[in-house]
Amino acid sequence: MKLYTANGNKDFKVVELENNAPEELIKLKISMVYPTLADLSVYEGKLDIDYPRVPCRLATAIVGEERLEYGLKFGSRVLLNPYVNPIVPEEDDYSEVDVYGIHKDGFLRDFVSMPIDNVIPFPEEVKEDEAIFTDIVAVALGIINEIKPEKGEYIALIGGSLLMNVTAQLALYYQAIPIVISADERALALAEKVGVYYTINERLEDVKKKVFSITGGRMADHTVQHAIGNVNPRFTYSLASRGGDCIIAALNSNYIPRQEVDVSMIAQNNLVVKGVSCGLREFNSAINVLAQKILKFDDFIDHIVPLQEAKELFEELSQDNFRYQCAVIRV
């Protein structure tokens, strides 16, 4: 099998190994991989982890052997749960859950062997270009579960990421009113396409005045900021209504860029600030959401490359993190 190992020096070493995994593991052929900003940080050497490391935690795969004791047929499609220990007791703290691609070798490879708990057959009618976003849906569900929006409440979503797009769609499902704020026209157009009525281009409009107008002076009942490099953090607190809550969201707590803001508004407006950066507890619920077809993923993926061009893709993304809305690797 072929593995792409990063040494933290903006390069990959391609390693060929025999697959000598224990018999209890499920042999799989990787099908699609979605590199995230955390994976890019592994490639660039920005994380304090053990190198060399195979990055990438979001992937789909094909069963490479008949395992009828688990209900797995040869050639069936599965998604991979990216959490190293995917089963955590409800009462346990899971804020520091290990993930593949950071704490253990990930899925930037052609073949892998995984524990059965990490191998999940596609729900009926779920397509691969939907299943690849399962963990993003799980984190978005975590955000929704934290803010518990009620019908008619306003949610300001700051950042034009796919995570904010999915969170906006879930807000609509719960009959809340999302307001998507971004400087990226592609993200705003994608939000409008999935049914978001209020979008604000922060480069062209006074965001605070626009939110004031949309909400009739109430401001947002909830604000959510995706903690990534192209997002302006000052909106998180300035757009929240008095007594509201603010969520700092990330797909993985290992990659959160440093951001400095004036936090005086937290005290002045009696705000509650929480963080959401793990979808472990919501992962099974995310699969159910996918099966219900309440979310749209059309046009999320805007760039596809084969595995042999993974190096070139990571080079591109290192030069411009936001060159694509969502670039994936087809194996």
Tell me the domain boundaries of the chain: 2-133+300-330, 136-276
Residue 90 pLDDT grade (very low, low, confident, very high; cuts 50, 70, 90): low
Query: Could you tell me the pLDDT band of residue 258, with boundaries at 50, 70 and 90?
Result: confident
What is the pTM (predicted TM-score) of this model? 0.95
Q: Are 144 and 121 in contact (CB under 8 A)?
A: no
Strand runs labelled E in the chain:
2-6, 12-16, 26-34, 58-63, 77-80, 111-114, 119-121, 154-158, 177-182, 198-201, 220-226, 240-249, 272-276, 303-306, 327-330
Helix, strand or coil, per DSSP, at residue 208:
helix
Residue 127, C-beta contacts closer than 8 angstroms, at least 6 positions apart:
none
Per-chain mean pLDDT for the chain: 93
Q: What is the DSSP string of 20-74?
A: ---TTSEEEEEEEEE--HHHHHHHHT-S---SSB----EEEEEE-S-BGGGTB-T
pLDDT tens, position by position, 199-255: 999 999 999 999 999 999 999 999 999 988 777 777 899 999 999 999 999 998 787
DSSP-derived secondary structure letter, 83: B
Q: Is 2-133+300-330 assigned to CATH 3.90.180.10?
A: yes
Cα 7 to its chain centre, rounded Å, is 24
Pairwise pLDDT comparison (263 vs 41), residue with the higher score:
41
Q: Is the pLDDT of residue 95 over 60?
A: no
Q: Is 207 helix (H, G, I), strand (E, B) or coil?
A: helix
| pLDDT, average across residues 146-164 | 95
Compute the average pLDDT of residues 258-262.
Answer: 75
Express each pLDDT in 57-86 by its tens digit: 999 999 999 999 999 999 999 999 999 988
Residue count of the chain: 331
* Helix pair angle (134-147, 162-173), 10° resolution: 50
Q: Which of the four pLDDT bands, split at 50, 70 and 90, describes residue 124?
A: confident
- Domain 136-276 sits in CATH at 3.40.50.720
**Confidence (pLDDT) at 105:** 97
Residue with more model confidence, 134 or 89: 134
The strand pairing partners of 328, in sequence order, are 304
% the chain with pLDDT above 90: 82
Higher per-residue confidence, 168 vs 262: 168
pLDDT for the residue 87? 79
| Distance between CA atoms of residues 251 and 42, nearest Å | 14
